[in-house]
Amino acid sequence: MQRSRWIGAGVLASALVLTSCTSGPAGVDAKQNSKAPLELWTRTTPGGPGEQGAIKLAAAFEKATGYKVKVTAIFDDFETKLQQRAAQKNLPDIVMNDVTQLGAMHSQGLLREIDLDKIKNSKQAVGQGLDSGKSVDGKQFGLPYSAQASALLIRKDWREKLKLEVPRSWDDFAAMAEAFTTKDPDGDGKKNTYGLAAPLSTKRGYASWYFSNFLWAAGGDFITETGDGKYKPAMTTEESVRAVQWFRDLGCKSKVIQPGAVTMETPPTNETFEAGRTGMFVVGPYLLPRFDETLGKDKYEVVPMPKGPTDATVLAEGGSVYLMAGSENMVGQDAFADFAISAEGQKTGMAGDTGFTVQLPVNKTVDISKVRPDPRWKTYAEIYQESGRYAPSIPNWTPVRQTTAESVNALMADCGLDTGTKLKELDKQLADILKEQGIAAS
């Protein structure tokens, strides 16, 4: 999960410097040079497999088109460094970043609008992926290059030992979690296993990020759109309250979530699953190579999330290509975006066993079964297409996620808190956030 801090007023001010120095929308008046090399920033760890994947994609693009691209990988303080370049009126040409950053970057004037008529391969894009690149005003400011959705990983050996079926409902899910906690599925004679791995830390909004898979399946929501790009809080609706209470009972009553979950981000949570301390984990496909190596491919299985009270909606995420304002090579920017979403670009990004640039393809002509024969990847692709849902592209999603994470975390950490009271407080906080962003329903 790639997440960024809430960009504050000081950062916004630096962004306004960029937009105020042109006579029109940011970047429109920049002198153009179609031979100028493109500077691409990708939000990933320098020297890691993500950087290597981006370099490989850039090299394939250069070979196909002749445009030169310099790749820079940045993870720590990515947004701060981007703002420094904005203040210098010298943004990189292209940024590959999380889809949830669209609203923040657009509201700060860092992006230029994408003309889909110039992106011929956009016609082959998966609809929900393409929609994820639209701002609240309906204009295209991001283009997806990679997608992912959550599936349920289950310790298959534990399930078979206890003679359990794959869960089809929330009742089945809760029953399996309890069995994995109380019936010694690893056979060591000790009470040292738990049903569900859950990263419920407040850091970077993990608790909200994870819980969204259950909230949406119950028909609940963090905020709901009322029309014309306006939103209202939704954590006190009957559906949302039901989802919170059900999930809370897993930790407070059944006690089937791993100890210390409220302080855990994803790295230590991943370790509980691969070390045999937890038996279920709701997560994206990016951990398959790791778990295959550390746990063993035969020890676990990938299945769709069981149907909740409403459906089986799960969190969809991904990376987007952003074309930055002020570029002197807008033709090259368009060409890269077009290549990234093309069948060739998608297959290039999916190649290899680790360090994928592309998790699930966003080009409808790419058959994941032919690129990755492993049927588990097809399961993920089907889940994304049938049940995946993106967070809304409001001006800044981060404070919504962070605030809801703090409330979910508090309810899981202190079982004595009153659910209804806490959620009413949360809705008031969300109302203030929506008002601050200018998108609160009247």
Give 306-322 pLDDT, tens digit per residue: 999 999 999 999 999 99
Average pLDDT of the chain, as a whole number: 92
Phi first, then psi: give them for residue 317, nearest 5 degrees.
Answer: -140, -175
- Which residue from 155, 228, 237 is spatially nearest to 197, judged by alpha carbons? 155
Question: For residues 215, 203, 286 and 40, what is the CA-based torsion angle, rounded to 10 degrees?
Answer: 120
Which class does domain 9-149+316-389 fall in?
A: alpha beta
- At position 207, the amino acid (one-letter code) is A
Q: Which whole number is the average pLDDT over 72-97?
A: 95
**How far apart are alpha carbons 334 and 73 in whole angstroms?**
21
At residue 1, the 3 state secondary structure works out as: coil
Token pair of 179 as six digits: 């069995």
**How far apart are alpha carbons 226 and 439 in whole angstroms?**
10
151-314+396-436 and 9-149+316-389 share a CATH fold: yes
**How far apart are alpha carbons 338 and 136 in whole angstroms?**
23
Percent of the chain exceeding pLDDT 90 equals 89
**How far apart are alpha carbons 222 and 391 in whole angstroms?**
10
Residue 21 neighbours by CB distance under 10 Å: 11
Q: 268: pLDDT confidence band, cut at 50, 70 and 90?
A: very high
Token pair of 182 as six digits: 């109380």
**How far apart are alpha carbons 206 and 211 in whole angstroms?**
8
Domain boundaries, the chain: 9-149+316-389, 151-314+396-436
In the CATH scheme, what architecture does the domain 151-314+396-436 have? Answer: 3-Layer(aba) Sandwich (3.40)
Q: 23: pLDDT confidence band, cut at 50, 70 and 90?
A: very low
Q: 29: pLDDT confidence band, cut at 50, 70 and 90?
A: low
Residue 125 to residues 96, 128, 330, 367: CA-CA distances in angstroms? 17, 9, 21, 13
Give the residues across from 117 on adjacent strands: none
